[in-house]
Amino acid sequence: VILGSGCIGQVYKGSIVNEEGHIQNVAIKVMHPNVREQVHADLQVLRLLSHIIPKYMPWLIPSTSATSSKEFLRWINPKGAVEEFSIMLEKQLDFRREANHLTRFNENFEDDPSVMFPEIIMGFEATSDVLIETFCEGMPFGKFVEQYQHDSDKLAKMCCVGIRTFCRMTFDHNFIHADLHPGNI
């Protein structure tokens, strides 16, 4: 069963026989075919544009009465911005990194029963293209809000958990989950 699809892969719901011999629901993330090649091609286009636009199309660069296009370019640094973006995007193209992050999140929040992250399934080690993790049953955030729209206590509790979790990620762990779409909350 397909649960969702993103820019670099799809997530399926499946089941496995775990180490104890029980059937266990899992989420299986699979990288889209040729996504690395597509991303690299797109990044090459961005690199090219970061060189061409400032030199040959300066009218595309915004300026204000306080800053000239040249000052804006020095401040925004298109070449540097594209390189930084490239580095961050490249890191997303390896599910082993995500597996390591899930392990770290679980360790960081092992003392908080109100916060749950999927766990890596032992015996199914992540590869750069496939990640198998526990399937976390839950309710999408929007549906939760809709269902409990008249229960201010429950909504307040959910908000407190969310704020506390994000603050702990930011200030205690210096390690933030940056994909906080409703399916992940």
Looking at residue 142, its pLDDT comes to 87
53: number of Cβ within 10 Å: 15
Domain boundaries, the chain: 35-91, 139-185
Residue that the structure tokens 């059937």 belong to:
23
Confidence at 47, pLDDT banded by 50, 70, 90? very high
Residues in contact with 59: Cβ distance below 8 Å, sequence separation at least 6, in sequence order: none
Confidence of residue 66 (pLDDT cuts 50, 70, 90): low
Task: Please say if the pLDDT value at position 30 is more than 70.
Answer: yes
Mean pLDDT over residues 110-136, rounded?
94
Q: How many residues appear in the chain?
A: 185
Residue 29, class by beta-carbon neighbours within 10 Å (0-12 exposed, 13-18 middle, 19+ buried)? buried
Confidence of residue 179 (pLDDT cuts 50, 70, 90): confident
Q: Report CA torsion sign: 151, 178, 164, 135.
A: positive
pLDDT score, position 58: 65
The residues that bridge with 31 in the sheet, in sequence order, are 9
Q: How far apart are the first and last CA of the chain?
A: 20
Task: Please list the residues that pair with 10 across neighbouring strands.
Answer: 5, 30
pTM summary value = 0.81
